[in-house]
A and B are shown apart, each in its own frame.
Chain A
Amino acid sequence: MRSTSPGSTPRTPGRAPAVEVTGLVKRYGTKTAVDGLDLTVAHGTVTAVLGPNGAGKTTTVETCEGYRRPDDGTVRVLGLDPVADAAALRPRIGVMLQSGGVYAGARAEEMLRHTATLHAHPLDVGMLIDRLGLGSCGRTTYRRLSGGQQQRLALAMAVVGRPELVFLDEPTAGLDPQARHATWDLVRELRADGVSCVLTTHFMDEAEQLADDVAIIDGGRVIAQGSPDELCRGGAENSLRFTGRPGLDLASLLKALPADSSASEPASGVYRVHGKIDPQLLATVASWCAQNGVMPDAIAVERHTLEDVFLELTGKELRA
């Protein structure tokens, strides 16, 4: 589960949200990619945008970056209109595209130095190169970098200008575990230093690890938003699982449990109790086991992960 508790840096109360999207609609021809989407990213927080492919994540993020003009609704990024105020907004945001963005013949370090030159107070390029493990490939041209190195270079380019807000579109797709952790550490440090961050991801553990807020998008709308804890607590029910000798009398167990609970034996000798799992229920199960001479082995509360919540909300079937 979560090893960090975002919240170490207090959200600055009273500061305008970093991103405020209201009723966003975006159509491509007859297809509606985003359909009345609302999203608020509090200043200084990390917000993860989750959703199945084609849910409208990238369209939403790219509208915030000023690439697309909303068909309806309003988008404010750092208080500015991303299209009308593009010139004022661009220096203040950092953007990591899902892929590409670098001249095929440019060397990694050359491109990062160039990006730094476009900003007034850039970060130290050497430090960033060390942090993201790009030292060994600084003289390698972009087309010869591995996918993971290309990702890390794109991340470095997004943060080198010391932005107030970064948009990271699937920042760890295709990274090995080390590079993934280096990216996570960097995002945590950005947050600690007061940079707001919007990231899209397919990795639930990434959202659980990094995000203060998670917005689950499907069909062009936000269908759930909250902290990872809130999302895991709400919605899906939790369950209690234990093992014992096969064929216990479930009817007798049910009688002991509160009315809205259920009990099952999904596999021989494996028992599962669904319902409101609280200390009282745990004690009830334990005492029922004691009365029946059962040693409840491997008793555990199975807490829903963000992935369970996600699948429950967006459905399990594969989408085209």
Chain B
Amino acid sequence: MTATEAGTATTTGTFAPRPGAAPLPRMIRAQAALETRMLLRNGEQLLLTVIIPTLLLVLFSAVDIVDTGAGKAVDFLAPGILALAVMSTAFTGQAIATGFERRYGVLKRLAVSPLPRWGLMTAKTCAVLVTEVLQIALLTAVALALGWSPHGNPLTVLLLLLLGTAAFSGLGLLMAGTLKAEATLAAANLVFLLLLVGGGVIVPLAKFPEAARAVLHLLPISALSDGLREVLGHGASVPWSDLGVLAGWAVLGLGTAAKFFRWE
């Protein structure tokens, strides 16, 4: 520490004001890079976004625990696991991270930085998308190694993934912006677990009773895993009903999050 003599400071010009915001693209790029590093550095997040989906994919492909119907297990599982990966990052991971950022005043401090709020949200979305690209690359490689043979139009797959990300982000931010950080932590993990079991990720919805199935089909995770399975498994053109469900959740989630999100 420099211990300058207590007393009248002399002008050095070091701190002479020269304010100004950095160019917007630079701010958003830096913020997105920081947000991505925070996501990837967090051990619990990695468990949720990388380790659990990979383990589930390998385990259920190799061992015949759940009857996934006709055909190779991996052909049923891979689309569901991709949906799970999207949910783990856009919903669970983002909700928990943002909840604690709100709790620890990170959002409050950023609110007085030159980065506008929409710039922060753009950066957060970029961080989620970068994480998803890494997840999908890894999981696709593992699935291919397990003998997965995907079909379908990649653009339709991309559309499903993006709509799914929008839907889960909205719900995650709604939770993070309204609940206490600890409540968000608990609820986001619980929802993750429930949707993992009841959302057609590894257990086909056909295994559920008729009455439950109608409701389960309306869950965002069901729509995403079913839509991906239609396209990647059967080469379906456009799964409109699934896209419709995802779009509905996206509008609902992002709309209510925008209305009710509290920054402090």
Contacts and interface: CB of A to CB of B under 8 A. Distances in A.
A118 B113 contact: yes
A114 B36 CA distance: 13
Interface of A: 3-5, 8-9, 65-67, 87, 90-93, 95, 97, 99-106, 110, 114-115, 117-121, 123, 127, 130-133, 157, 159, 161-164, 178-179, 181-182, 184-185, 188-195
B27 A117 contact: yes
B26 A193 contact: no
B13 A185 contact: no
A185 B6 contact: yes
Interface of B: 1-4, 6-22, 26-27, 30-31, 34, 37-38, 41-42, 100-101, 104-106, 108-109, 111-116, 264
Contact of A193 (B4, B12, B31, B111): B12
Given A3-B7, A4-B7, A195-B17, A100 B111 contact: no
B45 to A, nearest CB: 9
Given A105-B38, A117-B22, A130-B2, A100 B105 contact: yes
Given A118-B115, A181-B3, A193-B14, A104 B104 contact: yes
Contacts of B16: 162, 193-195
A234 to B, nearest CB: 25
A305 B152 CA distance: 80
A90 B112 contact: yes
B114 A67 contact: no
A190 to B, nearest CB: 5
A223 to B, nearest CB: 28
B9 A192 contact: yes
B1 A133 contact: yes
A119 B19 contact: yes
Contacts, number: 153
A62 to B, nearest CB: 9
11 contacts: A3-B6, A66-B112, A101-B104, A117-B22, A118-B30, A127-B14, A159-B15, A182-B3, A190-B15, A194-B16, A195-B15
Given A100-B105, A104-B100, A192-B11, A164 B113 contact: no
B19 A162 contact: yes
A22 B116 CA distance: 28
A282 to B, nearest CB: 30
B7 A131 contact: no
A70 to B, nearest CB: 17
A95 B104 contact: no
A5 B9 CA distance: 10
A108 B15 CA distance: 21
Contacts of B115: 118
Contacts of B8: 4-5, 8, 188, 192
Contacts of A193: 11-17
A157 B101 CA distance: 17
Contact of B42 (A65, A105, A188, A192): A105
Among B22, B31, B41, which residue has the most Cβ atoms of chain A within 10 A? Answer: B22
A147 to B, nearest CB: 14
A102 B109 contact: yes
Nearest to B106: A103
A106 B22 contact: no
A114 B34 contact: yes
A3 B6 CA distance: 8
A103 B112 contact: no
A194 B17 contact: yes
Nearest to A89: B112
Nearest to B114: A91
A305 B61 CA distance: 77
B109 A100 contact: yes
Among B10, B17, B26, B264, which residue has the most Cβ atoms of chain A within 10 A? Answer: B17
Contacts of A133: 1
Contacts of A103: 34, 38, 101, 104, 106
B223 to A, nearest CB: 33
A181 B31 CA distance: 33
Nearest to B23: A120
A105 B41 contact: yes
B17 A163 contact: yes
Contacts of B108: 67, 97, 100-101
B21 A91 contact: yes
Given A67-B111, A97-B108, A119-B20, A4 B12 contact: no
A93 B12 contact: no
Given A189-B14, A192-B11, A118 B41 contact: no
